Chain A
Amino acid sequence: MSGSIIALMSKLELIDINYRFPDSNNWSLSNVNFEIQKGQLAIITGPSGSGKSSILRIIRGLHREINGEISGQILVDGYNCNEIKTNRLGSIIGIVFQNPSYQLHQPRAIDEIISAPLYQGLPYNECLNKAFKAANGLVDDALLSKNPSSLSLGQQQRVAISASLSLDAELLLCDEPFSYLDSNGILELKKVILKLLDEGKTILIATHDIEPLVKIASKLIIINQGKVVACDKPTDVLLSKKSLLYIGVPLAIQISRIIQETNINDNPPICWEDIAKLLNPIKEDFFIKSFINKPRNETIISFENVSYSYPEGVQAISKFNLQIQKGQIISLLGPNGSGKSTLVKLILGFLRPQEGTIRVFGKKPTKLRDLAKYIGYVSQNPADIIFETTVYKECAFGPKVLSSKKNLEEIVITELSKVGLQNFLKRDPRSLSGGEQRLLNIACVLINNPEILILDEPEFGLDVSHITFIENLIRSFAELGRTVIIITHKFELAAFLNSNIILFSKGESVFTGNTIEFLLAPFHNDFLGVEDSFYKCLKNVTHTLGYVPDKEKFKSVIANQINGG
């Protein structure tokens, strides 16, 4: 690979790309065509399993490692990438994968950043120059000597991006870069992307979550079942009714469409930031008309002065007090590593508090297995529980080990019907999409008929339609008088569930209250990050109405206000 190719690098072009995995009869990608100009940001979105990641991998040449079959051309400034060796492509194309933890294979951040130039056999001083150039502005000097395990996920993602750019790559590919990040991490990454665009880098991002970048993207590509179904300016794609059929319509776009129906605008809003700017300012003396989500006043979980530190000395929870009532929906918000997951592990009895007392149904949690009948826990990664060969067997595992097999088939089918998987009984659970696997996880837990449902980041890696489905499931579960605890980074989810919010920061709960009280809290900026604009919109509507609206009411109030109604 000569240096001249790097210097000339200006755009990416995919021409008639067809791709299939080894030993597969079906094409995973079929007739994919698009191009991106130098210095532009393009977003690829689509349902789980639609081929987003495959597109990135074949551009970077990683399909060659598994002998995938490809036809068509991938041109980078006219040069065909298929003719360049995979290990040499790093000087043209950098790639960042979904899980930041897996992207760091070296013991320190600096070693990771310098690794790509070292693997090219470049002179040591040149490797250093390239590494420092790539790290400049992205990774703080103080972090360079740290072990990846001691970095936050946002910091790990920054190191991974620096490492990908250390060979002076002009094109950066990112696969679901926001999945593991909290709101501030997303905001931080957005700043990094803006900085790279300023430097003239070309960026292609595959993501379910288009909201953070839609405003700065030049192109939005929607892919379904391996085919490009839309590829145009984000505004044009988002406002066209056909193109979002496959992924669900984000709430901000639904509002924008309502606005456009009555008042056609040349620059319609396409994200919360746009909408927040169009709303009337509200007075700060916010008036609360009523409180909703009243508890039934029957405490089922209580924390009294609970503290917990991990063996390595990290204080995860400090002097924590809380009473969770029957029928409440509790949302645990806060940055990564703030203590949310520790709190859930304490409830589940997986960790024991060093100080204070926890009571679940009036008793100290002893063993998780004894609580399984009363508490259902849905982990963040659906693959954590999947082990059976069919969806039916997977769902039947709980009743098989916990209770009698009476009417088992009927119970399993009923539970699977609730999550819309009744037609997949004989399917291999691992062949389901990410969203379907998450729904199967929920069915596997609900089949034990728990009193409390705990969900760890239920929105993780899901498109809008699946998130909406899960939101409705949570609501209907809570309507039965049962309790739901959600760990989430998505304030939007917590707000529309009208949940009681507990905000964590550095092991302490800095806020406990309902959604209205949360909207009044002065410290939201510290953790809301990219969701700040949504927060402003919700605060505005809640101020107008005096209560937290449901989605339909929220949409109509905002559209009405913007259209001057």
Chain B
Amino acid sequence: MGDRFDIIKPVSKIHDLNLWTKIIILLMIFPCTVFLSPPQFLIIPICFLFCLFKVSHITFKSFWGSSKAYIIFFLLGSTIFSLAFESGDILSRFLAGILWGARFDTVIVSSIFLSLVTDPIEIPMALFRMGIPHKYGITLMVSLRMIPLIRNGIYNVIIAQKARGLNWSFCIVNPYKLILQIMSLAVPCVFIALETSVGLSDTLFARGYDPYGKITSLPLKWKYNDVLIIFIAIAILLFILFYKIQPNKFTL
């Protein structure tokens, strides 16, 4: 009998990395590299992230869909901020703004990338391994599962109530109607939330979960790819650091 990953093929080699590898690279080494990197070397961590992105098989469409708002916001925000508050001519303030925007964006992109290549179950298990009681990790997981269920339930309530006459335009001048209609949505939604949470907690009991009992931890395995990728990330960081300390030794 092999590991469950023998049967469940990971989406990509990046998805298959250890959660700690992903956290160390994308949330620790990578942001440090980006912020320490001088403008001419910023392309190196960006290329590194691009390579990870290509290997992960995540489509640009799905990635852009979940990150575009942040990317545009930080790029525009830092440019405007720089133009308003930095010193120097307009072009240098503009370029400084773009550079800082690019740095923030690269860090945001790496965080979003982490969420896209991480299986939700890894998070509670990671919390568990950190010594935090498993009931918090399980609560987090159940909460994540509840969100789409409750959202669907509320959607159905809105359809059903609108179909029997719920109409906000009728109640602009009538507080009684306004309260009645708010109640017509709020009460069923509360019941749906309760029903969902009771359903999921019943399932936990049915699976024999004991919040104070012992549960099995998923084994944490370090593979060749984990070591290799951490090594590359550290090498890039060391290179940048070395340049920061002794820039004269580098000639471009």
A residues adjacent to B (C-beta < 8 A): 60, 62, 65, 86-91, 94-95, 97, 99, 101-108, 110-111, 114-125, 127-129, 131-132, 141, 144-145, 148-149, 163-164, 167, 345, 348, 350, 368-373, 375-377, 379-381, 383-387, 397-398, 400-402, 430, 444-445, 448, 454
The reply to whether the CB of B9 lies closer than 8 angstroms to some CB of chain A is yes
Apart from the given pairs A102-B200, A149-B148, 4 other A-B contacts in the complex at a CB distance below 8 Å: A97-B202, A119-B213, A128-B4, A397-B164
Contacting residues, chain B, for A448 (C-beta < 8 A): 164-165
**Chain A nearest Cβ from B67, distance in angstroms:** 17
Tell me, in angstroms, the Cα distance from A214 to B7 when the chains sit together. 37
Partner of A107, one of B145, B170, B202: B145
Among B7, B121, B207, B218, the one with the most A-chain Cβ atoms within 10 Å of its Cβ is: B207
Interface window among B35-43, B78-86, B191-199, B235-243: B191-199
Contacting residues, chain A, for B183 (C-beta < 8 A): 387
Given A124-B219, A400-B177: A383 touches B188 (CB 8 Å cut-off): yes
Contacting residues, chain A, for B210 (C-beta < 8 A): 87, 119
The A interface, classified by DSSP as helix, strand, loop or mixed, is: helix
| Contact across chains for B208 and A120 when beta carbons are under 8 A apart | yes
| Contact across chains for A386 and B214 when beta carbons are under 8 A apart | no
**Chain B nearest Cβ from A71, distance in angstroms:** 22
| Contact across chains for B167 and A369 when beta carbons are under 8 A apart | yes
The reply to whether the CB of B160 lies closer than 8 angstroms to some CB of chain A is yes
Partner of B184, one of A97, A145, A368, A397: A397
| Contact across chains for A107 and B1 when beta carbons are under 8 A apart | no
The reply to whether the CB of B142 lies closer than 8 angstroms to some CB of chain A is yes
| Contact across chains for B215 and A385 when beta carbons are under 8 A apart | no
What 9 A-B pairs come out closest when comparing CB atoms? A102-B199, A387-B187, A377-B163, A90-B208, A121-B214, A87-B208, A369-B167, A384-B160, A402-B165
Tell me, in angstroms, the Cα distance from A85 to B160 when the chains sit together. 42
Tell me, in angstroms, the Cα distance from A370 to B163 when the chains sit together. 9
The reply to whether the CB of B95 lies closer than 8 angstroms to some CB of chain A is no
| Contact across chains for B202 and A375 when beta carbons are under 8 A apart | no
Partner of B149, one of A101, A350, A454: A101
**Chain B nearest Cβ from A351, distance in angstroms:** 10
| Contact across chains for B145 and A104 when beta carbons are under 8 A apart | yes
Contacting residues, chain A, for B141 (C-beta < 8 A): 105-107
Contacting residues, chain B, for A444 (C-beta < 8 A): 164
| Contact across chains for A124 and B167 when beta carbons are under 8 A apart | no
Partner of B4, one of A99, A110, A116, A377: A110
Contacting residues, chain A, for B164 (C-beta < 8 A): 372, 376-377, 385, 397-398, 444-445, 448
The reply to whether the CB of B117 lies closer than 8 angstroms to some CB of chain A is no
Among A60, A99, A145, A385, the one with the most B-chain Cβ atoms within 10 Å of its Cβ is: A385
Tell me, in angstroms, the Cα distance from A104 to B191 when the chains sit together. 20
**Chain B nearest Cβ from A74, distance in angstroms:** 16
Given A124-B218, A383-B188, A384-B160: A369 touches B165 (CB 8 Å cut-off): yes
Closest B residue to A114 by CB, please name it. Answer: B4
Contacting residues, chain B, for A117 (C-beta < 8 A): 216
| Contact across chains for B167 and A401 when beta carbons are under 8 A apart | yes
Contacting residues, chain B, for A125 (C-beta < 8 A): 1
Contacting residues, chain B, for A104 (C-beta < 8 A): 145, 203
Contacting residues, chain B, for A107 (C-beta < 8 A): 119-121, 141, 144-145
The reply to whether the CB of B180 lies closer than 8 angstroms to some CB of chain A is yes
The B interface, classified by DSSP as helix, strand, loop or mixed, is: helix
The reply to whether the CB of B204 lies closer than 8 angstroms to some CB of chain A is yes
Given A119-B207, A119-B213: A102 touches B167 (CB 8 Å cut-off): no
Tell me, in angstroms, the Cα distance from A95 to B216 when the chains sit together. 22
| Contact across chains for B200 and A88 when beta carbons are under 8 A apart | no
The reply to whether the CB of B96 lies closer than 8 angstroms to some CB of chain A is no
Partner of A103, one of B144, B171, B203: B203
| Contact across chains for B119 and A105 when beta carbons are under 8 A apart | no
**Chain A nearest Cβ from B237, distance in angstroms:** 32
| Contact across chains for A111 and B166 when beta carbons are under 8 A apart | no
| Contact across chains for A164 and B206 when beta carbons are under 8 A apart | yes
B215-242 residues at the A interface, CB under 8 angstroms: 215-219
Among B4, B208, B219, the one with the most A-chain Cβ atoms within 10 Å of its Cβ is: B208
The reply to whether the CB of B173 lies closer than 8 angstroms to some CB of chain A is no
Contacting residues, chain A, for B92 (C-beta < 8 A): none
The reply to whether the CB of B209 lies closer than 8 angstroms to some CB of chain A is yes
Tell me, in angstroms, the Cα distance from A121 to B209 when the chains sit together. 10
Given A107-B121, A397-B164: A102 touches B196 (CB 8 Å cut-off): yes
Partner of A348, one of B159, B186, B206, B214: B159
**Chain B nearest Cβ from A411, distance in angstroms:** 14
Tell me, in angstroms, the Cα distance from A206 to B195 when the chains sit together. 20
Contacting residues, chain A, for B187 (C-beta < 8 A): 386-387
Q: What are 28 A-B interface contacts by the 8 Å CB criterion?
A: A60-B206, A62-B202, A86-B205, A87-B213, A88-B208, A89-B208, A97-B202, A99-B199, A104-B203, A107-B119, A117-B216, A121-B216, A122-B216, A128-B4, A131-B4, A132-B7, A145-B9, A368-B162, A372-B162, A372-B165, A377-B160, A379-B159, A379-B163, A380-B156, A384-B153, A387-B183, A397-B165, A430-B191
**Chain A nearest Cβ from B165, distance in angstroms:** 4
| Contact across chains for B180 and A397 when beta carbons are under 8 A apart | yes
Given A108-B121, A387-B183: A116 touches B167 (CB 8 Å cut-off): no
Contacting residues, chain B, for A88 (C-beta < 8 A): 208
Among A60, A105, A385, A430, the one with the most B-chain Cβ atoms within 10 Å of its Cβ is: A105
| Contact across chains for B165 and A144 when beta carbons are under 8 A apart | no
Partner of A385, one of B161, B195, B208, B219: B161
Contacting residues, chain A, for B1 (C-beta < 8 A): 125, 128-129, 132
| Contact across chains for B166 and A401 when beta carbons are under 8 A apart | yes
Contacting residues, chain A, for B204 (C-beta < 8 A): 105
**Chain A nearest Cβ from B250, distance in angstroms:** 46
Contacting residues, chain A, for B202 (C-beta < 8 A): 62, 97, 102
The reply to whether the CB of B181 lies closer than 8 angstroms to some CB of chain A is yes
Closest B residue to A102 by CB, please name it. Answer: B199
The reply to whether the CB of B8 lies closer than 8 angstroms to some CB of chain A is yes
| Contact across chains for B4 and A386 when beta carbons are under 8 A apart | no
Tell me, in angstroms, the Cα distance from A103 to B203 when the chains sit together. 5
Contacting residues, chain B, for A375 (C-beta < 8 A): 163
B2-54 residues at the A interface, CB under 8 angstroms: 3-4, 7-9
Contacting residues, chain A, for B7 (C-beta < 8 A): 110, 132, 141, 144
Contacting residues, chain B, for A105 (C-beta < 8 A): 141-142, 145, 200, 203-204, 207
Tell me, in angstroms, the Cα distance from A385 to B164 when the chains sit together. 9
Contacting residues, chain B, for A122 (C-beta < 8 A): 216
Closest B residue to A160 by CB, please name it. Answer: B203
The reply to whether the CB of B157 lies closer than 8 angstroms to some CB of chain A is yes
Contacting residues, chain A, for B145 (C-beta < 8 A): 104-107, 148
Tell me, in angstroms, the Cα distance from A403 to B180 when the chains sit together. 15
Among A371, A383, A400, the one with the most B-chain Cβ atoms within 10 Å of its Cβ is: A383
| Contact across chains for A163 and B191 when beta carbons are under 8 A apart | no
Tell me, in angstroms, the Cα distance from A163 to B205 when the chains sit together. 12
Closest B residue to A118 by CB, please name it. Answer: B216
| Contact across chains for A350 and B159 when beta carbons are under 8 A apart | yes
Tell me, in angstroms, the Cα distance from A99 to B214 when the chains sit together. 28
Among B161, B210, B218, the one with the most A-chain Cβ atoms within 10 Å of its Cβ is: B161
Tell me, in angstroms, the Cα distance from A379 to B159 when the chains sit together. 8
Closest B residue to A107 by CB, please name it. Answer: B120
Tell me, in angstroms, the Cα distance from A104 to B200 when the chains sit together. 7
